[in-house]
Chain A
């Protein structure tokens, strides 16, 4: 037991050191690394929903987009009139000082974590009562409706988009912006990982799994499933909102359907990454997101223009031929590595029965 702990310690400290050193080692890829962190966070939170709870959602993009809009709105609205900012290139008229910028983004991120969680709690009772594919389609509708509606609201820029405050010009270091957002997203990643790992060791996860495996039975056992489902969704929303807020600041421009409520890209990516890595495992989404990001960045530029075709084909191939994901495949191959003991007698008996 002690040996295992030690191994874990080496692994985690190694990863953290790698993460801290990454922006200096690969200084040209800071934006990509930030993307990677956010993608991993999204995949892990989706996994909490789709993998552990069995509620396959397309709607987590709702919280991501909400977080993005909220962070930018708070950051601007704290110091300047929001309507004038979005109306006509406000970033030229109003300039954030360094202190204002960081205060704004701090408060903005706080709001963008709490509000989506509250929203998830508020709509959770109605939405999470749906089962299976009804839930999937309903959340798909929610995500797209949010994008369409945000594209019609004037104060957040409507269809022409919303420019988030530019990084303060007083900081002369040109690398500072990339580093700032990288470390922000890396901190979020560590926070999410620690949280999800904590959940994996807790009773809460067992309850979520019970809901996934058979909700009616779980209810009959005396578990108040609705309460746990809502809490699970709120956890997802909390981290999705934060990820969205960071992404909004990094991209610097928010469009209602192409950046914020981007169901066609981010919304699908998070599902795909979690399934690619293996649903219902701690490391699956992390590995899936990393692989997917490398694949995307490596291949996207080679097949420019055809990337969505490749994405669509990839979805079909993964879903049809590879639904257990990488971790599922490894688990099947090396069950003893996952702490599963195979009763050889029992297995033989089963084979004979067949």
Chain B
């Protein structure tokens, strides 16, 4: 335990800015999760591994000599098809089933992804250098990598674009209709199978964007996918399905929590703190809900 952070205001500013910028990125992943959860009623444990795979795509083009920032365009395109293929192979068989089956099946997919990434990209921690430099604030006492600002900006851009797309386009309307009532949508001529595949593809594409941004702001490693899944799950259950402003806010809240936990508890407990927060949120939610239970009169 180290409470130094509360004595030094500059450290707090640093942690807050880091946390908020990171949180916007988390919110983007969580938005994808909320989308597929709402539309297909699936909890995707492989979400984080899709993110990491997207990151590795950006890292690969970086190795080829292209600037990794192009990853935010290339990675979602590739990931969309990965998501589509994944849907056709496995997910379409678990859509209408028990949620636990989808959890276990995607858990299996997550293991396969982790191991394949381990084979292809190696088990080293890698990062793509964006060489954007850093911004110094408050007499050089707060440092802010420009790549983080860039990533937050791109996340917001894509999120806004997606919201507009969902509101205006034909496919977006079909997706929202399917989320409301799949059967009615089917009767009215929506090809729900296609909608599901597209939803999963869009989710994977969002993961691809987030992964590309993570490859330049944070680090990549084949086995760090699960924490991203848990973070997005947490954000979704706090914010609720289909409530985008709340997703953004709770994403930032999670980012803040993590940065402060990092300073106070120490870096070795960071991931542990995230998972404990998940448990606490779920338990808090359970007690809150159980108060609402009433006797029938």
Contact = CB atoms under 8 A, between A and B. Distances in A.
B287 A129 contact: yes
Contact of A319 (B105, B271, B276): B105
B226 A316 contact: no
Contacts of A308: 111-112, 114-115
B108 A152 contact: no
Contacts of B108: 311-316, 319
B272 A312 contact: no
Contacts of A132: 99-100
Interface residues of A, number: 40
A152 B112 contact: no
A133 to B, nearest CB: 4
A144 B226 contact: yes
A138 B269 contact: no
Contacts, number: 120
Contacts of A56: 100, 103
The secondary structure that dominates the A interface is helix
Interface residues of B, number: 41
B240 to A, nearest CB: 14
Nearest to A307: B115
A320 B90 contact: yes
Interface string A114-144: 0000000000001101101110111011101
A271 B101 CA distance: 11
B29 to A, nearest CB: 16
Contacts of A271: 104
Nearest to A132: B99
Contacts of A275: 104
Contacts of B93: 320-321
Contacts of A141: 230, 275-276, 278-279, 282
A197 interface: no
B233 interface: yes
Interface in A244-266: 264
A134 B282 contact: yes
A309 interface: yes
Contact of B100 (A130, A136, A151, A311): A136
